[in-house]
């Protein structure tokens, strides 16, 4: 937080801290934690826009680099002081053979002060190392928090927030270079009725099973997320519409191929099917319009019978 204040990365954080300084109000641990949570932690778990998160990541990198440099300098200083103390120790032993009390006393005094400085440097190095360890632990903790904030708790795949970030990155990249990507929107057919009949526990089992099937039937570069409720979204980078439709058909067939069972009772729950809408991004269109196009194709698939794949090509012109 203080690195961010000194670097001027966040004008709002700086302004709030300056009000405390002007009022000569002590920055207590509670105030420190509150300001950190408001301006730093929130941004690091995905609450800020991409540019702000990038600035924070850059600031963290500079902070780590600066801290490592300080540690290196302290370590070098400690080693140099220790070497100097050893040289003085040797010189002191040699001076003990010379009958000059004043010179011997001066050397002993220098020797004592040098050892004291070496001890202080060693303590400083220990404290900086401990601080570095604490910062590393905090960064790991924030990384876990950020990951949790972007992961769906039930299905353990990226959530709506993570999806919004990823689709934003893909559209932004196409402003810098030519390319293409597709979006698949899918719904579990008649899931509400299924939940009402079998209960939410069994419904959660089906959500997890469909998630696993989708994850197994998309490519490593693709991005599958739980969009909300029983709806999922998959982003296909560098993929044309016809190829995305083929992947969608494969996933649909795999989902419906095997009857689902209640894990607790063994009851056969029958087949679960999904409806899918697919669209390809058009350069320059808004993310909202792009998602709406895929969602409209999904709605069309549900309206004409479910358990099918429809694309933007099937929509009225």
Catalytic residues: 230
For residues 302 and 296, what is the distance between their CA atoms, to the nearest angstrom? 10
Q: How far apart are CA 256 and CA 273, in angstroms?
A: 5
State how far the alpha carbon of 170 is from the alpha carbons of 12, 44, 80, 176, 279, in Å. 29, 20, 52, 10, 14
The residue count of the chain comes to 317
Nearest partner of 235 among 274, 179, 190, judged by Cα: 179
CA distance 20 to 142: 26
Q: Which long-range contacts (CB under 8 A, 24 or more apart) does 297-303 make?
A: 297/185, 298/185, 298/186, 298/187, 301/275, 301/276, 301/277, 302/187, 302/189, 302/275
178: its two tokens = 């030519």
**Segment holding 277, helix H or strand E:** strand 274-280
Q: How distant is the alpha carbon of residue 316 from its chain centre? A: 40
204: which 2 tokens?
Answer: 């959660």
Tokens 């003990």, residue located? 96
Tokens representing 164 are 């919004």
The CA radius of gyration of the chain, in Å to the nearest whole number, is 31
The pairing of strands 309-311 and 274-280 is parallel
CB-based contacts of 138-143 (< 8 A; 24+ apart in sequence): 139/60, 142/41, 142/44, 142/45
């Amino acid at each position: 937080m203080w690195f961010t204040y000194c670097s001027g990365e966040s004008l709002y954080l700086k302004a709030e801290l300056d009000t405390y300084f002007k009022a000569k109000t002590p920055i207590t641990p509670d105030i420190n934690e509150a300001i950190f949570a408001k301006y730093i932690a929130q941004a690091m778990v995905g609450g800020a826009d991409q540019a702000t998160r990038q600035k924070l990541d850059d600031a963290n990198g500079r902070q780590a680099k600066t801290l490592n440099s300080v540690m290196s300098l302290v370590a070098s200083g400690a080693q140099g002081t220790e070497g100097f103390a050893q040289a003085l120790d040797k010189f002191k032993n040699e001076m003990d053979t010379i009958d000059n009390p004043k010179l011997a006393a001066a050397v002993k005094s220098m020797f004592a002060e040098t050892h004291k400085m070496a001890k202080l440097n060693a303590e400083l190095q220990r404290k900086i190392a401990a601080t570095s360890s604490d910062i590393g632990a905090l960064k790991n903790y924030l990384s876990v928090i950020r990951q949790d904030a972007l992961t769906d708790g039930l299905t353990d795949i990226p959530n709506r927030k993570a999806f919004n970030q990823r689709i934003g990155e893909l559209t932004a990249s196409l402003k810098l270079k030519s390319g293409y990507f597709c979006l698949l929107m899918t719904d579990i057919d008649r899931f509400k009725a299924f939940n009402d009949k079998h209960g939410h526990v069994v419904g959660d089992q089906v959500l997890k099973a469909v998630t696993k099937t989708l994850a197994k039937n998309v490519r490593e570069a693709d991005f599958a997320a739980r969009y909300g409720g029983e709806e999922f979204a998959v982003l296909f980078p560098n993929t044309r519409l016809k190829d995305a439709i083929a992947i969608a058909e494969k996933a649909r067939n795999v989902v419906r191929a095997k009857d689902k069972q209640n894990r607790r009772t063994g009851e056969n729950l029958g087949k679960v099917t999904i409806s899918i809408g697919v669209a390809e991004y058009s350069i320059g269109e808004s993310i909202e319009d792009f998602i709406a196009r895929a969602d409209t194709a999904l709605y069309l698939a549900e309206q004409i019978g479910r358990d099918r794949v429809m694309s933007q090509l099937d929509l009225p012109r």
